[in-house]
Amino acid sequence: MSASAEATVLITHEVGLHARPSVKFTKLAKTFAAEVEVALAANGPWFDAKSIVKVMAAKAPKGTLLHIRAKGDGAGEAVVALAELVRRDFDESGDHARTA
C-alpha cells in the first residue's frame, strides 16, 4: 500500500522552524516510517523532514505557511502529528525569549 497525505500549517513560533523547534520537528518525523517532506511553497522545493540540516536550510521564519507531505506507511498520521506540533508552537508557547 502506498498512502499519501498533505497539510499546510502556519508557523507562529517567534524564531520560526529553527534550532530547538527544528530538533523537535525532525525527531518526531523520524518516528514515522513514511517518507516525509516539507516546503515553503506548494510547488516546492521539498526538503527531507527527517534531516535537521535540510529543515534548517529551508529557513522558515515566523509567519511562513509550511507545507508538509508524506508518502508510505503511516503517511496520514505523520502529517497530522507534525502539523499539530507546529500548531502547538512546538510546545514552547510563552517561552520565546529563551528558546532561540
Partner 1 sequence: MPGPLRLQGISASAGYAEGPLFRLDRTALHYTVKATAADEKAALEAAIGMATGRLGALIETADSEAAGILEFQIAMLEDDALSGPAFAAIDADQPADAAWRRALDAEIAGYETSDQDYFRARAADLRDIRDQVLRALSEDDESAAPAGAIFYGEDIAPTRFLETDWSSGGGIALKAGSAASHVAMLARSRGVPMVVGLGASPANPVGVALLDAEHGGIVLAPSKAEIEAFRRSSSSFAARRDKAETYLARPAVTKVGTAVRVQVNIADPSDVDGIDIATCDGVGLMRTEFLFGKTLPDEETQYRAYRKVLEWAGEKPVTIRTVDAGGDKPVPGFTVEEGNPFLGLRGIRLSLARPEILRVQIRALLRAGIHGNLKVMFPMIAVADEYARAAALLTEEQTGLAARGVAHKMPPLGIMVEVPSVAIAPEAFADVAFFSIGSNDLTQYVMAAARDNASVAHLNSVRHPAVLRLIASVVAFGRERKIPVSLCGDAGGDPASIPALLEAGLRDLSVAPAQLAMAKAAIADVTV
The answer to whether residues 38 and 47 touch, using CB atoms and an 8 Å cutoff, is yes
Instruction: Annotate each residue in 58-97 with x if it binds partner 1 (CB under 8 A) or - if it does not, as one string.
Output: -x-x----------------------------------xx
Stretch that binds partner 1, among 4-12, 19-27, 38-46, 74-82 (CB under 8 A): 19-27
**Residue 78 Cα distances to 23, 31, 98, angstroms:** 16, 8, 28
Tell me the three state secondary structure of residue 91: helix
**What is the total count of residues that contact partner 1 (CB under 8 A)?**
24
65-71/4-10 β-pairing: antiparallel
Question: What residue ranges bind partner 1 (CB under 8 A)?
Answer: 14-16, 18-20, 22-23, 26-27, 48, 51-54, 56-57, 59, 61, 96-100
